């Protein structure tokens, strides 16, 4: 799997997980409709299925996934919550992505 496809798969996986966790949060913290739990459950099912599409061993995928999750969570912060990430957020996300790239793209025997 090419690096760009892998990154896109990680991003979709993170988006599915964040959506699946955000909707119940809306229900519990913002008095949202209980019906938000249906798309939340579907989103979490999509998240789990997307994890199975990653080509590496599960532990390596979970470790590398964390880096992309950080970036997608900060984009969510900006787009959904309306809070623009600061310099330290961007620096941390860059370091997380660098770690993800090392884990996923390193040559293996």
The confidence score (pLDDT) of residue 2 equals: 74
Contacts of 12 (CB under 8 A, 6+ apart): 50
**Distance from C-alpha of 31 to C-alpha of 36, rounded to nearest angstrom:** 11
pLDDT digits (tens, 9 = 90+) for 77-95: 999 999 999 999 999 999 9
**Distance from C-alpha of 25 to C-alpha of 99, rounded to nearest angstrom:** 29
| Beta carbons within 10 angstroms of residue 104's beta carbon | 22
The confidence score (pLDDT) of residue 52 equals: 86
Report the Cα–Cα distance between both ends of the chain, in Å, rounded.
17
Bin 2: left if φ > 0, else alpha if -120 < ψ < 50, else beta: beta
Residues of the chain with pLDDT under 50: none
């Amino acid at each position: 799997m090419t690096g760009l496809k892998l990154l896109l798969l990680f991003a979709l996986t993170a988006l599915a997980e964040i959506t699946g966790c955000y909707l119940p949060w809306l229900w519990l913290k913002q008095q949202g409709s209980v019906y938000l739990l249906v798309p939340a459950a579907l989103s979490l099912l999509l998240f789990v299925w997307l994890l199975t599409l990653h080509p590496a061993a599960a532990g390596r995928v979970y470790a590398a996934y964390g880096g992309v999750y950080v970036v997608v969570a900060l984009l969510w912060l900006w787009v959904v919550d309306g809070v623009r990430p600061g310099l330290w957020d961007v620096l941390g996300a860059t370091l997380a992505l660098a770690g993800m790239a090392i884990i996923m793209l390193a040559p293996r025997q």
